């Protein structure tokens, strides 16, 4: 009576992916199928960030650091980020943090919901 399991990987639908700056301003937005893993959207999303105009120096087009959740904790993504000069700040899989869960909400989480 309740329908299919919400954790079923074969479910139809879509996911919205957002890359934002620390103030919550969206830099790139993308949509993918719900049955694809989140990590597959990381590279296209970072490549879609437009150049940022600045008053001094060259235009920046990539972040200095990237904060992400456990879905992006994959070795080849960490290597790819470091190769591009981006410091990965990604939560580790298998490390439980129940005592710290919910202490900090990112700005983008507060503005979207």
- Domain for residue 46, yes or no? yes
pLDDT at residue 112 in the model: 53
Tell me the CA distances in angstroms from 78 to 72, 84, 101, one per residue in order: 9, 10, 23
Mean pLDDT computed over 76-102: 79
- Domain for residue 82, yes or no? yes
pLDDT at 20 over 80: yes
- Domain for residue 9, yes or no? no
pLDDT at residue 21 in the model: 81
Find the Cα–Cα–Cα–Cα dihedral 24, 28, 34, 38, rounded to 10°.
-80
pLDDT at residue 76 in the model: 93
Tokens matching residue 99:
């005592």
Number of domains composing the chain? 1
Q: Which three-class secondary structure state does DSSP give residue 88? A: strand
Domain housing 48: 14-52+61-112
Total-model pTM: 0.68
- Domain for residue 5, yes or no? no
**Residue reference for tokens 């994959």:** 74
- Domain for residue 19, yes or no? yes
CB atoms within 10 A of CB 81: 23
CB atoms within 10 A of CB 41: 19
Contact residues for 76 (Cβ-Cβ < 8 A; gap 6+): none
Taking only the tens place, the pLDDT of each residue in 59-88 is: 666 778 888 888 888 899 999 999 988 898
Q: What is the mean pLDDT of the chain?
A: 77
- Domain for residue 92, yes or no? yes
- Domain for residue 6, yes or no? no
Tally DSSP H helices, then E strands, for the chain. Answer: 3, 4
- Domain for residue 77, yes or no? yes
């Amino acid at each position: 009576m309740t329908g299919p399991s919400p954790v079923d990987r074969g479910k139809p639908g879509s996911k919205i992916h957002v890359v934002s700056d620390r103030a919550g301003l969206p830099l790139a937005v993308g949509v993918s199928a719900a049955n694809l893993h989140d990590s597959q959207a990381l590279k296209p999303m970072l490549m879609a960030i437009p150049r940022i105009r600045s008053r001094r120096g060259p235009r920046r087009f990539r972040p200095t650091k990237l904060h992400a959740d456990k879905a992006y904790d994959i070795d080849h993504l960490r290597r790819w980020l470091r190769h591009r000069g981006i410091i990965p700040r990604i939560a580790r899989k298998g490390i439980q943090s129940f005592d710290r869960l919910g202490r900090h909400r990112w700005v983008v989480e507060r503005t979207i919901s």
